Amino acid sequence: MANIKVLLADDHTIVREGVSALLEISPGIEIAGEASDGNEVLEFARKQPVDLILMDLDMPVMGGLEATRNICKEFPEIKILVLTQYDHKEHVLSILEAGAHGFLNKSAASSELLSAIRAVYRGDSYLSPSATRHLVESYQEELNGKKGGDLYEKLTDREKEVFRLLAEGRTVREIAGILVISPKTVDSHRSRLMSKLDLENRSDLIKYALRKKIIPLG
């Protein structure tokens, strides 16, 4: 079985030397090269075969996030494992959205780094415990938003009345007469409810009303 060709991308020489020393004595892994910024990563990948890039985030000229996006676009076959001191939620989500296959903190043990390299090379994803926690938290927040964030329920009672009448096809003047308010006030309610529900036009409003069963089908 061929060795995993790894490119080390980090602007700190001491970090590259330390990781390189570890990988050189690890069976099945070889150092393809080193880079100190994102531009060097791209230049190297264009000239020599690379299986996996150990990518730092905070590098000069071109950072790891931009380099990851560019590599994934130009060389989708190359695996990217981010090795960084940053593991804040925004960093984890951003780098995964950019296309990275794994995320590991520099405080990880050498055995974990080797396991991550081999897992990512096989085509699996690898996330450090802290990165996994951030991903779970983000998913839970999204779920809670969907469960508790019914936009329609955020409308006022008067806005719901205006919404229903608009969905039934009533004109602004008709709604004003039914609710005994001015057409200007109706327009104000309509603008607010359209904004709250993220609707652009009356067609969107009617479709929304049908989905919510506020007006009957047919």
Q: Which amino acid is at 76?
A: P
In the chain, % helix, strand, coil (3-state, to 5) comes to 55, 15, 30
The pLDDT score that the predictor gives to residue 144 is: 54
C-alpha to C-alpha distance for 133 and 121, rounded to whole angstroms: 23
- 138 by Cβ neighbours in 10 Å (0-12 / 13-18 / 19+) ranks as middle
Rounded to whole angstroms, the Cα distance separating 72 from 211 reads 39
Domains of the chain: 4-142 (3.40.50.2300), 151-211 (1.10.10.10)
Element (H, E) at 120: helix 110-122
Report in angstroms the alpha-carbon separations of 121 from 65, 86, 129, 216: 20, 23, 19, 54
Backbone angles phi, psi at 137, to 5 degrees: -60, -40
User: To which residue do tokens 């955020």 refer?
Assistant: 154
3-state secondary structure of 114: helix
Report how far residue 70's alpha carbon sits from residue 114's, in angstroms, rounded to the nearest whole number.
Answer: 25
SS3 6: strand
Beta-carbon contacts of residue 35 (< 8 Å; ≥ 6 apart) = 7, 8, 9, 41, 43, 44
pLDDT score at 37: 96
Res 95: pLDDT: 84
Q: For residues 217 and 210, what is the distance between their CA atoms, to the nearest angstrom? A: 7
pTM over 0.85: no
Segments of the chain scoring below 70 in pLDDT: 1, 89, 134, 136-150, 217-218
Give the pLDDT of residue 148. 41
DSSP code of residue 86:
-
Rounded alpha-carbon distances, angstroms, from residue 17 to 12, 24, 39, 79, 106: 9, 10, 20, 21, 14
Per-residue tokens: 118: 């081999």
Report CA-CA distances (Å) from 68 to 43, 80, 111: 13, 7, 24
CA dist., res. 79 & res. 97, Å (int): 14
